[in-house]
Structure 1
């Protein structure tokens, strides 16, 4: 039966797998490092890199990324088979009951999703499950060895260690046997010496240059990441986001395992506490450390990017949750099937109901069979410039270009892709020493100025946040040319004639974070092209690009805002009002999300200023349409969003003047001048009021 579980899971994973490089976190880095047998970002993932390198060589079908995906599918199918064997033996379940539990485990959203990408998570889960099976089977030395070597796939295997020690205590493992187990674990951990040995040979990718023991230790401790899950959390007090994360995790359990699965886990925990106390504490400690404690330490804010990073770390607490759920479901099955009459029929039907529901719910979100977004993105980026230095910021986008260069070997020699976040690192400069590029940090405007002045034809991607407002930029598809780097003659045709588009390019139609993030880059490129045309006086042409941007991402307020600007310039005030109203509503949504996501104060303020601008223009348009009361409401909303927005107060003053409410007009004019003393019109009108003459009108 284990073979059936393995084959069934593997076939489903392969059918739904990404056909090429997956737009997911570090997939492009993993394939690139595997292809070059290099050193990955801290802590290095040496076991996975070695296994992926072998898979890339021996799997006889598909492109390089697909072969690594097959490896992920093999490990997750293996994990499903081991889970089946574990719960069948531990809880004495019948084959079909254990198979149903294994199906719910294997086809839950995150396990399934990570089985179809080029990442190390499924290897880690497979090895940890093997270690758990060996531990519960009494093979302590083998269990600790597998646990140790599994850290070479993911170091969060260390979070399972307390459970192993506690179980050994309950089983009164002799000191000699426990010492032998730890010696075996140390032998497993020796796999990290790969990073030290390999770094000395100067591989193509040598993250952190772990060629000394000191730098190897820094890599293991993730010093470059602040010793945390991600630097995103560094701006928050310890535990500040804990309860938000726990609520998100609870919602994940109810959505991806169903309320019935959650209830089964509670029943299972109670059953094990009463009947098998050592097993209860093993699983409870595992869940507490890998779930509760980890999320307290991770402290990730509740924005979509941070949660996408956090989600991959649900796999370990989910594993212990599934153990509890299997115990509870097995107990419920035995109780119901023992009843007279239709008890056995109900039990047999019910035991498969939840796994089928889990499968059906997850399938639409994890079927990536036709997802070519990232491989097409990398290809499209590559045709956007010639003889150029391309600066990209976000990991997925950067690593897609690494994959094209190192794994596919398709990158042209005249293009040099610079990772903005790594450009100042000593190891990154050493790794790219042969480039005709003067690498500098890219943090401040001065850094960027030196970089642009010191290099040939600099282009940057939409995510790179180019800070030099005094440097002319020219759109070039997904890129923009900076300064003296003029775009190629074909730049105007890139987005609509030269680029590949395979798949559903609608931001809102995808559940996970990273595919929509790629689509958003295209929406930004379309908007940039439209803005360039608009500022060149070609408003009619610009509108087409703005509408295309809104098609790709409905909640993209800059495109709607500039459509309103174009319509206003054409004296189509009704059309302008429609677009400004939409932009203002979406900006309000962005402002609310910035608060909900606990964004940095400067980010929240910037979003509110943009929202205030949209409400101000909506008010001006309402005035043009003779809707003064609406205009006053819009100006008031703008002033609420941005307290120092002088134009909002000035325009309110004019409306009050027209209404004859001179006291309100005076207070708003005074507030205008308090914020902007240089406003000559406000001074003039305030002087008229102070002089006792209430005549005149705004120019």
Structure 2
């Protein structure tokens, strides 16, 4: 009976030809989302290498490399295909992968919103209006339900596409656009599966083939679930977080048709599969991955074979396991490719042990959230989630609260309406949102001052909340329709729909400048500027992601300065990287075999300081190669590792010289900064700061290294003497620094010092005061501010500045000296004595202060003023 019903269902004439579907308002609306987002994304697409992981992903895709764990093999393979597109540069092609993925994902957000809205009572019945004319076109039969769904879907799609973080990820090579596409695609597939089940159930009941019992499913429907499982397991090779939607999908399947998952065959197969996986993990602790895998799969296969009629035949749980395993198998790319020694081969997963550590992200494991909370959940929610979430849908209008929270008000309306009108879908959406927001907050377990704090960790939650924003608009439509009479609603509802869609497009206008990367050359030029001036066959030490990944990109993709060996100090803590330095061209051979490298460990030196593995390697490299190959250290390296007196600045790098030669090579630095370096996106054609290009926090900080070079030159001119020529050259250097980075505090500080030495105390005071107001007033700035005010006779202001310096750093000796001398000049020996005593509590053996105290005490004794002895 079930087979007959299924056959009749499949033969039922209820399906619309594909070409006709493309002429429906819903299809045209999806096309509109695709076209509009593609136009905006292409206009704002980064055409070259950005900062952060994008440079590594572009380079890895181009050369089929192995990026940082967990290796993202599926992304690299798809990125490689995009890198072969016969237009644009390689970087643009791989960046476009994110753009097209994000656009298609926005289309599926649109479709998912429509699917949820269509499940609400009354909407499906009003999808089309009956027509007495059989020849009437589809558009003439469109009901209010379809128009409302169209508007709700457009709102959700556009709010997703132009959300702050989502748009960031859409214009540069990142995994989150493709990951988000798989997430929302599988959610849409689950909804289509549910529609098929419920439609077949209704059809079956109407035909009296299953009565009111329901529960029959179309034979095509389990295939949809199998495909969902396959895509989610495959997408682990894009980003592990993609898999997080699976529990919500399983719960939704159980809610829609419990017998799909709550039956003996399915549960029995899942138990067998689970035990096989558990067996694999147990065996993996004792033997190699292939052996553990072979045994566990063998056990699973034997159980299935001997219980085929019960657990195997027509049991799609078996296919879940098989296709899930097939999807995960894409990670074998890492093991295979690593053996071919690509230029980027992070963690070197060429052994089964290393391969397993990459798969489990051993390098980036968060602390166990069950054992220890890093800080309170309230701090984790507000600082690491809500700080980014609250302005995702910025409308760019006043007042400020309205532009940020109006979308959230619509979203909350959608949440409430969803639970009231259709609880099964509401359960699905709620679990999706909580899984990608609150659960992630709990699982990631960030510290209060987390260095890996990123907005894109929660981008899926912003995507899913946009669905609720769309449903909120749908609820607004339904409320107005029920509240207004027919004639009024026919006028008001279209207006509300147009306004709602325009509202969802407002973030595109508000965020366009911030997201326009079409002329963002800063990261690429930074890498080029760092490498170009170096001597041939150089060794360059870099610090972290942003002074390394762009260099990898420019060497592997643009083939620029491949003679230079970039040595990343963070990776230099690992044995695999030290071996790669020894074995990969251009080689840095430290004379160590594998046994010696594996034995490297941190230790504590005689001064009680920890000497890390990378410290050992840095000094070894200098010992082996100094005088044989040029050695440089990037200015971004914070710890100079005891080499300060040997480092000479030459622009964006320090060259390692003989001990005692440290400083700045003014001529070479000036030539590099002024003649060699490229400043596209930083300076306009007149050499002034280019305000037409947006610089985010990362770019703004890194370009300060250019400004720092000019400031160093200015300092050297100031040190040469106070004559007019040196002052002129110093001011010219500072002007160039300010053009590159107007907010760099070092520029203003040096300018204030020059004004002070020129005895232009008013300008000096103004300059130092500006630094204080913008939050860059350190102790030295406050002291110089006080000196400038004192020189003008502004005694009260000077006293406040000196006191502020003392309060900021009570252990700063110079602040006590300045304040003491100031009080003496005001003939305030009693107060001056108090300042001396405050310092002597820190340093009771300071001879100079003790002598000054003796003199002050003698002065007070001679005048008969009481004072502490």
- Which bin holds the TM-score, normalised by the shorter protein? 0.7 to 0.9
Write out aligned runs for 1:258-269 (5 A). Answer: 258-269=404-415
Contact 1:115–1:122 (CA under 8 A) maintained in structure 2? yes
Q: Within the alignment, does 1:480 sit opposite 2:654 as a pair?
A: yes
CA displacement at 1:346 relative to structure 2: 2.5
For residue 123 of structure 1, the aligned residue among 164, 168, 178 is 178
| TM-score of the aligned structures, taking structure 2 as reference length | 0.71
Write out aligned runs for 1:85-234 (5 A). Answer: 85-92=111-118, 93-94=146-147, 95-138=150-193, 139-171=224-256, 172=258, 173-174=260-261, 175=263, 176=266, 177-178=316-317, 180-227=319-366
CA displacement at 1:86 relative to structure 2: 2.3
SS in 2 for 1:474: strand
Q: Within the alignment, does 1:17 sit opposite 2:45 as a pair?
A: yes
1:326-383: CA deviations, max 9, x gaps? 2222222233356331322322222213112122112121122111112222222222
Contact 2:75–2:238 (CA under 8 A) maintained in structure 1? yes
Contact 1:452–1:483 (CA under 8 A) maintained in structure 2? no
For residue 284 of structure 1, the aligned residue among 422, 430, 436 is 430
CA displacement at 1:178 relative to structure 2: 4.9
Contact 1:647–1:672 (CA under 8 A) maintained in structure 2? no
For residue 834 of structure 2, the aligned residue among 645, 648, 667 is 667
For residue 460 of structure 1, the aligned residue among 633, 656, 667 is 633
Aligned pair in 2 of structure 1 residues 681, 381: CA closer, same or farther (>3 Å)? same
For residue 55 of structure 2, the aligned residue among 7, 28, 35 is 28
Aligned pair in 2 of structure 1 residues 584, 345: CA closer, same or farther (>3 Å)? closer
Distance across 2 between alignment mates of 1:565 and 1:627 = 18
Q: Within the alignment, does 1:69 sit opposite 2:95 as a pair?
A: yes
CA displacement at 1:228 relative to structure 2: 6.4
Greater Cα radius of gyration, structure 1 or 2: 2
Distance across 1 between alignment mates of 2:700 and 2:34 = 32
Aligned pair in 2 of structure 1 residues 41, 192: CA closer, same or farther (>3 Å)? same
Aligned to 2:270: none
Contact 2:155–2:470 (CA under 8 A) maintained in structure 1? no
Contact 2:374–2:448 (CA under 8 A) maintained in structure 1? no
CA displacement at 1:533 relative to structure 2: 3.9
Distance across 1 between alignment mates of 2:112 and 2:373 = 42
Contact 2:335–2:355 (CA under 8 A) maintained in structure 1? yes
Distance across 2 between alignment mates of 1:695 and 1:141 = 98
Q: Within the alignment, does 1:519 sit opposite 2:703 as a pair?
A: yes
1:616-669: CA deviations, max 9, x gaps? 122223222233322221111011000112232233233333444433222211
Distance across 2 between alignment mates of 1:223 and 1:112 = 30
Aligned pair in 2 of structure 1 residues 556, 684: CA closer, same or farther (>3 Å)? same
Distance across 2 between alignment mates of 1:474 and 1:321 = 53
Distance across 2 between alignment mates of 1:306 and 1:529 = 35
Aligned pair in 2 of structure 1 residues 583, 445: CA closer, same or farther (>3 Å)? farther
Aligned to 1:603: none
Aligned pair in 2 of structure 1 residues 164, 529: CA closer, same or farther (>3 Å)? farther
Contact 2:73–2:333 (CA under 8 A) maintained in structure 1? yes
Aligned pair in 2 of structure 1 residues 285, 524: CA closer, same or farther (>3 Å)? farther
SS in 2 for 1:395: coil
SS in 2 for 1:574: helix
Q: Within the alignment, does 1:572 sit opposite 2:760 as a pair?
A: yes
Write out aligned runs for 1:543-558 (5 A). Answer: 543-558=731-746
Aligned pair in 2 of structure 1 residues 693, 266: CA closer, same or farther (>3 Å)? closer
Distance across 2 between alignment mates of 1:205 and 1:146 = 27
CA displacement at 1:290 relative to structure 2: 1.3
Distance across 2 between alignment mates of 1:488 and 1:528 = 8
Distance across 2 between alignment mates of 1:96 and 1:273 = 20
Distance across 2 between alignment mates of 1:395 and 1:223 = 19
Write out aligned runs for 1:643-662 (5 A). Answer: 643-662=810-829
CA displacement at 1:123 relative to structure 2: 0.8
| TM-score of the aligned structures, taking structure 1 as reference length | 0.87
Aligned to 2:73: 46
Aligned pair in 2 of structure 1 residues 278, 249: CA closer, same or farther (>3 Å)? farther
CA displacement at 1:465 relative to structure 2: 1.9
Q: Within the alignment, does 1:435 sit opposite 2:586 as a pair?
A: yes
CA displacement at 1:575 relative to structure 2: 3.3
Aligned pair in 2 of structure 1 residues 158, 518: CA closer, same or farther (>3 Å)? same
For residue 630 of structure 1, the aligned residue among 787, 797, 803 is 797
CA displacement at 1:395 relative to structure 2: 0.8
For residue 494 of structure 2, the aligned residue among 345, 352, 357 is 345
More helix by share: 1
1:192-212: CA deviations, max 9, x gaps? 222122223322221111123
Root-mean-square deviation over aligned CA pairs: 3.0
Matched pairs, number = 666
Aligned pair in 2 of structure 1 residues 235, 620: CA closer, same or farther (>3 Å)? farther
For residue 325 of structure 1, the aligned residue among 469, 472, 485 is 469
Distance across 2 between alignment mates of 1:490 and 1:659 = 48
For residue 497 of structure 1, the aligned residue among 675, 681, 691 is 675
Contact 2:162–2:393 (CA under 8 A) maintained in structure 1? no
Aligned to 1:594: none
1:524-572: CA deviations, max 9, x gaps? 3322333344445545423322333234334322222222223333333
For residue 769 of structure 2, the aligned residue among 581, 587, 599 is 581
Distance across 2 between alignment mates of 1:620 and 1:157 = 59
Aligned to 2:128: none
Aligned to 1:604: none
SS in 2 for 1:417: strand
Q: Within the alignment, does 1:312 sit opposite 2:462 as a pair?
A: no
Aligned pair in 2 of structure 1 residues 523, 358: CA closer, same or farther (>3 Å)? same
CA displacement at 1:220 relative to structure 2: 2.4
CA displacement at 1:3 relative to structure 2: 3.4
Q: Within the alignment, does 1:371 sit opposite 2:456 as a pair?
A: no
CA displacement at 1:247 relative to structure 2: 3.2
Distance across 2 between alignment mates of 1:460 and 1:559 = 23
SS in 2 for 1:201: coil
